[in-house]
């Protein structure tokens, strides 16, 4: 059995576009605190909420249950379900396009690549996203999960094909 009783990972990247507005809101909140305390605190709380908003997957190996959670400020919310029998584990490369607009209103799309570990339950084509991020860390997560479930993970990343 796995030495780690719980596997927990964020499964959605935090929007890069959220950082700058959140920092601006925090600064505006600090400035507003001098005259309008309530408005300043409201700006700061909303910005902190936006910065800590997360989504992820949690597997409790001890109690054999799984949940997809949403969270903020370190709290996690989601319904636990019985852990299904896993049939496959895959490591794939996901390319996401980010649009940037210049001052001259020209839009540029920048492809951003990251790795994703997917868990497929027995008899299902749907999957749980168990990890995302840099290839090395996702590969380590795939290795941990493959040891626990007694399955070999299938590597479909570009680095593996070369």
Average the pLDDT over each of 62-71, 89-98, 104-113 and give the range with the smallest value: 104-113
pLDDT tens-place string over residues 96-131? 877 777 777 777 887 888 899 999 999 888 999 998
Give the range of the structural domain holding residue 143, as residue numbers without chain letter. Answer: 6-11+59-161
Position 13 scores a pLDDT of 58
Position 1 scores a pLDDT of 44
The answer, yes or no, to whether residue 16 has pLDDT greater than 90, is no
pLDDT tens-place string over residues 17-63? 677 788 888 999 999 998 999 999 999 998 888 888 888 899 999 99
**Into how many domains does the chain fold?**
1
Nearest Cα to 44, choosing from 70, 25, 31? 25
Look at residue 42 and tell me if it is in a domain: no
Give me the residues paired with residue 132 across strands: 116
Look at residue 151 and tell me if it is in a domain: yes
Look at residue 114 and tell me if it is in a domain: yes
Look at residue 34 and tell me if it is in a domain: no
Nearest Cα to 5, choosing from 57, 58, 56, 61? 61
Report residue 2's pLDDT band, with 50, 70 and 90 as the boundaries: very low
Position 100 scores a pLDDT of 73
Q: How many CA atoms lie within 13 A of 95 on its CB side?
A: 5
Look at residue 65 and tell me if it is in a domain: yes
For the chain, list the strands marked E by DSSP: 6-10, 54-60, 65-72, 75-77, 81-82, 86-101, 107-121, 127-133, 153-155
Please give the average per-residue pLDDT across 139-161, as a whole number: 86
143, 11 Cβ separation under 8 angstroms: no
Look at residue 90 and tell me if it is in a domain: yes
φ/ψ of 85, rounded to 5, equals -75, 125
Nearest Cα to 117, choosing from 88, 77, 97, 96? 88
The answer, yes or no, to whether residue 80 has pLDDT greater than 90, is yes
3-state secondary structure of 50: helix
Output the pTM of the full model.
0.74
């Amino acid at each position: 059995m796995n030495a780690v009783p719980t596997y927990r990972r964020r499964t959605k990247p935090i929007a890069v576009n959220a950082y700058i507005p959140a920092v601006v809101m925090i600064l505006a909140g600090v400035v507003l605190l001098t005259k309008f305390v309530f408005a300043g605190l409201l700006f700061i709380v909303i910005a902190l909420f936006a910065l800590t908003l997360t989504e992820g997957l949690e597997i409790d190996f001890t109690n054999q249950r799984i949940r997809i959670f949403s969270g903020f400020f370190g709290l996690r919310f989601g319904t636990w379900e019985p852990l299904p029998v896993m049939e496959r584990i895959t490591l794939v490369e996901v390319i996401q396009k980010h649009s940037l607009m210049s001052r001259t209103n020209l839009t540029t799309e920048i492809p951003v690549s990251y790795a994703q570990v997917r868990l497929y339950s027995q008899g299902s084509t749907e999957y749980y996203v168990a990890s995302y991020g840099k290839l090395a860390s996702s590969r380590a997560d795939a290795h941990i999960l493959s040891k626990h479930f007694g399955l070999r993970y299938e590597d479909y990343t570009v680095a593996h094909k070369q």
